Amino acid sequence: MKIAVGCDHGGFELKEAIVEHLQKRGFEVLDKGIHECKSVNYPEIAVKVGKAIQDGEAERGILVCGTGIGMSMAANKMKGIRAAVVSDYFSAKFTRLHNDTQILCLGGRVVGVGLGLELVDIFVDTEYEGGRHQTRLDMMAEIENQR
């Protein structure tokens, strides 16, 4: 599985840890930056990771900012993208099972490296259940077509 990863200055430390962790686990990681801890506007990084999903360059994405919220808001404005901010195990699992979320958003200032890496593992290891949940995803896609 290819995973695109990106962050702003609020998520830099956790993003670096995620890249190393996923590579050690054998995943191909597309690091969309930032590559040094400098101030950056999170929407530009969210778009890079979202585009990697839209283009089929990566199957999953992970975005990290201070809270995870700005990244998720930006990514969810992109067509076909389902991004979720998560800070607990249950949500990390069920946003994959029920929402087929492609992009996990984490708050580097919220979860820290220890919990952050555990949430990443749950996210990449859990498959979408499909079935009745697909109807709901189709309804969300329809909302997107209305605007």
- Applying CB under 6 A, the residues found at the interface with ligand RB5 are 8, 10, 42, 65-67, 69-70
Q: Residue 23 Cβ, how far from ligand RB5 at the closest point, in Å? A: 24
Dihedrals phi, psi of 66, to nearest 5 degrees: -65, -50
Q: Which of 9, 21, 98, 133 is catalytic?
A: 98
For ligand RB5, give the closer residue by CB, 27 or 86.
Answer: 86
For ligand RB5, give the closer residue by CB, 67 or 76.
Answer: 67
Element (H, E) at 94: helix 89-97
Taking CB positions, which residue lies at the least distance from ligand RB5? 70
Any bridge partners for residue 6, and if so which? 63
Is 35 part of the annotated catalytic residue set? no
The residue written with tokens 């896609």 in the block is 141
Q: Residue 8 Cβ, how far from ligand RB5 at the closest point, in Å? A: 5
For ligand RB5, give the closer residue by CB, 22 or 45.
Answer: 45
Identify whether the C-beta of residue 3 lies closer than 8 Å to the C-beta of residue 61. Answer: yes
Is 98 part of the annotated catalytic residue set? yes
Q: Residue 125 Cβ, how far from ligand RB5 at the closest point, in Å? A: 26
Nearest CA to 124 out of 13, 7, 21, 17 is that of: 21
Nearest CA to 16 out of 92, 105, 108 is that of: 108
* Catalytic residue list: 65, 98
